[in-house]
Chain A
Amino acid sequence: MSENSPKAPRWAIWLPLALFAGFVALVGYNIARPASRDVPSRLIGQPLPAFDLPAVAEGRPGLSRSHMTDGKPRLLNLFASWCIPCAAESPQLAALAAQGAEIDGIAVRDHKDDLAAFLARNGNPYTRIGGDDVSAVQMAIGSSGVPETFVIDGKGIIRYQHIGDVRPEDVPLLLQKLREAGQ
């Protein structure tokens, strides 16, 4: 350095240590706080993409976008017979249906006989069930797993997404989102 460069103040010697301590604190904070692994869909507020899924369950017609634009808000539940949390949320879906929610289902990568056994065991709250054998509709709506539950308004706009199984404490919120979607 040239002679006329100003001398650093004495406390500056602690700066690197303070920087390091700050770094450790940041890392520690983020390690202690469990990060969310959820990947939310970016299509909230956007219309459902066009799709047409075949019927896969006895007595339940298939599901297409046109069924979801009849003016009535509804729940769209992605599930599968091979998914254990999907069985765990069935009492909550039954409760939602009992309180007037219309629930359409998309069965992801499911066999008809497995699905029939699943519905016989856990109940069938669905109005319609479409089979999504290559997860195409799941990808098209930005869903990253099962179970997931979307609130769709009467015009087919996605209003809300619930990731993971519906727990008893989630039921009032989903009913509220359905009411909001109906306004």
Chain B
Amino acid sequence: MKRLLLILALGLASPMQADDTMPPAPYAYRQLDNAQLEAKAQALMVTIRCLTCQSQSIADSDASLAGDMRNQIRQRIAAGEDPEAIRAWLIARYGDYITYAPRVTAITWPLFAAPLLLLALAGLLLRRRFKGEAS
């Protein structure tokens, strides 16, 4: 009986809400009617970081700020804006952290250059080795 009461109490308790009760923005959960534009928006949204749940993309997140970002991105793409221009607009406000698509910048170029350098080095070493065997 006691256990039953406890379970009932658990069901009745309402968890403390720290989220808003506003209905989602018009295009937070609604796709654009034009499939081509929606695909463009989707491709951008999966590479934009959710600022509330920082390991998710805004396409994956149910945070209200992510919903509002999807809403804005869909509306701007429907209005003819280029996805990369929207990404640049977001980077201008939140920095590179907002985008999951890697960019070559003054800080990140070694990440792109290092594999090429290592490949070249390996090629050089292998050539010397094969030459050694041939002689």
Contacts and interface: CB of A to CB of B under 8 A. Distances in A.
Interface residues of B, number: 26
Interface in A20-55: 37, 39-43
Interface residues of A, number: 28
A95 interface: no
How would you classify the secondary structure of chain A's contact residues: helix, strand, loop or mixed?
loop
Contacts of A135: 64-65, 68-69
Interface stretch (A7-15, A59-67, A140-148, A149-157): A140-148
Contacts of B94: 39, 41-42, 142, 144
A176 interface: no
Interface in B47-69: 51-52, 54, 64-65, 68-69
Interface string B60-95: 000011001101100000000000000000111111
B61 to A, nearest CB: 13
Contacts of A145: 51-52, 65
B93 A142 contact: yes
B46 interface: no
Interface stretch (B1-9, B12-20, B101-109, B111-119): B12-20
Contacts of A110: 20, 22
A111 B22 contact: yes
